[in-house]
């Protein structure tokens, strides 16, 4: 196998050498999974948030805490009909 048939792929686990055909197949399989993955149910979201809200042995520093009532911009409903996108 020549050097042109190998791509350097960055993954969550680090850098891996992967042949281009395998990389393309992995990308296609991932896109297929994304298109058909089950949607998160409200109960599963609530359970995940409950787990994240549990107290820990190492609480965040006061400077790392979010202000009371903070809502992520991604969780806010769009009121202007743009879907959260900016014009321009």
Q: Over pLDDT 70: what percentage of the chain?
A: 67
Which position has the higher pLDDT, 45 or 74?
45
pLDDT tens column, 1-20: 444 444 444 555 444 667 88
> What was the pLDDT predicted at 15?
44
Domain residue extents for the chain: 3-50
Tell the burial category of 65 from Cβ atoms under 10 Å away from its Cβ (0-12, 13-18, 19+). Answer: exposed
Element (H, E) at 20: helix 20-36
């Amino acid at each position: 196998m020549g050097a042109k048939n190998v791509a350097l792929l960055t993954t969550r686990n680090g850098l891996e050498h992967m042949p281009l055909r395998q990389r393309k197949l992995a990308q296609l399989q991932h896109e297929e999974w994304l298109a058909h993955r089950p949607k998160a149910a409200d109960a599963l979201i609530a359970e995940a948030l409950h787990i994240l809200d549990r107290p820990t042995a190492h609480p965040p520093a006061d400077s790392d805490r979010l202000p009371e009532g903070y809502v992520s911009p991604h969780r806010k409903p769009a009121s202007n009909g743009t879907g959260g996108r900016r014009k321009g």
